[in-house]
Amino acid sequence: MELWAKLSANEKFEAYGVVGLVVGWILGLVLGSSSVCVGGYCVGSVNYFNWGNAGLFGILALVLGVILGVVLFLKVSPSAGITWPMPVGQIILFISAAALVCAALMTLLQFTNGGNPPVLMYVADVVMIGGGAVATWFAYQTWMASKA
């Protein structure tokens, strides 16, 4: 809680975006599954959320979200003592924008993959895109405030 108090209001929303990316990915694993039945017998299940290239973009968005959370933690950690190669706000903005782009590409690929995916899978897509958008918007606001 001590580290949470050190975050600015914008950085707290960036952290909420990280939570949105992680929760959206977990929701996709749960809501994106569908049973495969042949002749009245269910022989398995397929998860459309992790199917093909869309799944790769989803995992990349998740990894970028986790990296964003780590960078936010290291920024406010008193014992980190990291010399950043560029302004931290710029790093956070780049990571959050990349996560947003990956989440959007994941959704686009899921629409074009075909098949008969569960409709609720797209709820997870919206949560991931929303998390990336929130993180990116508030990272942009933080970065612009540092320019003024």
Longest dimension (CA), the chain: 66
Give residue-wise pLDDT tens across range 81-98: 888 899 899 999 999 999
DSSP letters along 12-63, please? HHHHHHHHHHHHHHHHHHHHTEEEEEETTEEEEEEEGGGSHHHHHHHHHHHH
Spatial CB neighbours of 20, under 8 Å, sequence gap ≥ 6:
127, 128, 130, 131, 132, 134, 135
pLDDT score of 45: 78
Where is average pLDDT lowest: 14-28, 55-69, 81-95? 81-95
pLDDT at 63 over 90: yes
Domain locations in the chain as residue ranges: 7-147
pLDDT band for 105, please (50, 70, 90 cuts).
Answer: very high
Mean pLDDT of 68-89: 88
Stated pTM of the model:
0.89
CATH of domain 7-147: 1.20.140
pLDDT (0 to 100) of residue 47: 79
**Would the pLDDT of 56 be above 80?**
yes
Output the average pLDDT for the chain: 89
